[in-house]
Amino acid sequence: MKSSIIDRLAILADAAKYDASCASSGTAKRNSKDSGGKGIGSTEGMGICHAYAPDGRCISLLKVLLTNHCIFDCHYCINRASSNVVRARFTPQEVADLTLSFYRRNYIEGLFLSSGIVKSSNHTMEQLVEVARILREEHDFRGYIHLKTIPDADAELVHQAGLYADRVSINVELPTDAGLARLAPDKNTGRIEGAMGEVKEHIAQNRDETKRFRHAPRFAPAGQSTQMIVGADAASDADIVGKANRLYDGFGLRRVYYSAFSPIPDASAVLPLKRPPLMREHRLYQSDWLMRFYDYSAAEVMQATGADGMLPLDIDPKLAWALKFRDRFPVNVNRAGREALLRVPGLGVRAVNQLIAARRQRTLRLEDVGKLTVSIAKVRPFIVTADWRPTLLTDRADLKSLVAPPAEEQLELFAA
Partner 1 sequence: MSMLPQADKDSHYAVNVPAPDDFTFWRDAARVLVQCRVPPDQIAWGEPGSTGDLFAAGDQPLPLPPANAPMVRASKPFIQAAEAAICHSDPARFALLYRLLWRLQGNRNLLDDRTDNDVRRLDELARSVRRDKHKMRAFVRFRAMEDADGQERYVAWFEPEHHILRSNAAFFVNRFSNMRWSILTPRGSLHWDGEVLGEGPPAERGDAPDGDPAEDLWRRYYASIFNPARLKIGAMLKEMPRKYWKNMPESALIPELVAGAQAREAAMVEAGALEFEERPATLPAIDRAIHGCRKCPIGELDNQAVMGEGPPNATLMIVGEQPGDQEDRQGRPFVGPAGQVFDAHMQRAGIDRGTVYVTNAVKHFKFVDRGKRRLHQTPTAKEIDICRWWIESERHIVQPRLILAMGASAARGMLGKTVSVSKARGVPHVLEDGAELWITAHPSYLLRLDGPAREEQERMFQADLQAVAERLAEMTG
Scan residues 244-263 and list those touching partner 1 (CB under 8 A). 260, 262-263
Binding-site size for partner 1 (CB under 8 A) equals: 84
Question: Which of the residues 372 through 411 are near partner 1 (CB under 8 A)?
Answer: 372, 408, 410-411
If DSSP states are collapsed to H, E and C, what string results for 267-336? CCCCCCCCCCCHHHHHHHHHHHHHHHHCCCCHHHHHHCCCCCCCCCCCCCHHHHHHHHCHHHCCEECCCC
- Segment interacting with partner 1 (CB under 8 A) among 31-39, 86-94, 114-122, 307-315: 31-39
Give the burial string for 314-342 (b: 16+ CB within 10 Å, else e).
ebbbbbbbbbeeeeebbbebeebeeeebb
- Among 234, 161, 173, 224, CA closest to 197: 224
Question: Which of the residues 140 through 199 are near partner 1 (CB under 8 A)?
Answer: 178, 181-183, 185-186
Distance CA(307)–CA(258), nearest Å, equals 22
Tell me which of 26, 41, 116, 151 binds partner 1, using CB under 8 A: 41
Tell me which of 1, 6, 397, 416 binds partner 1, using CB under 8 A: 6
- Segment interacting with partner 1 (CB under 8 A) among 149-157, 302-310, 354-362, 397-405: 354-362
212 scored as a contact of partner 1 (CB under 8 A): no
Tell me how far, at minimum, the Cβ of 398 lies from partner 1, in Å.
28
- Among 107, 114, 102, 103, CA closest to 21: 114
The residues, any chain, with a CB within 8 Å of residue 243's CB and separated by 6 or more, are: 172, 175, 176, 228, 235
86 scored as a contact of partner 1 (CB under 8 A): no
Question: Which of the residues 267 through 326 are near partner 1 (CB under 8 A)?
Answer: 267-270, 273, 275, 278
44 scored as a contact of partner 1 (CB under 8 A): yes
Tell me which of 3, 28, 45, 57 binds partner 1, using CB under 8 A: 57
- Segment interacting with partner 1 (CB under 8 A) among 94-102, 115-123, 312-320, 382-390: 94-102
Tell me which of 1, 55, 211, 337 binds partner 1, using CB under 8 A: 55
The residues, any chain, with a CB within 8 Å of residue 284's CB and separated by 6 or more, are: 230, 237, 240, 241, 258, 311
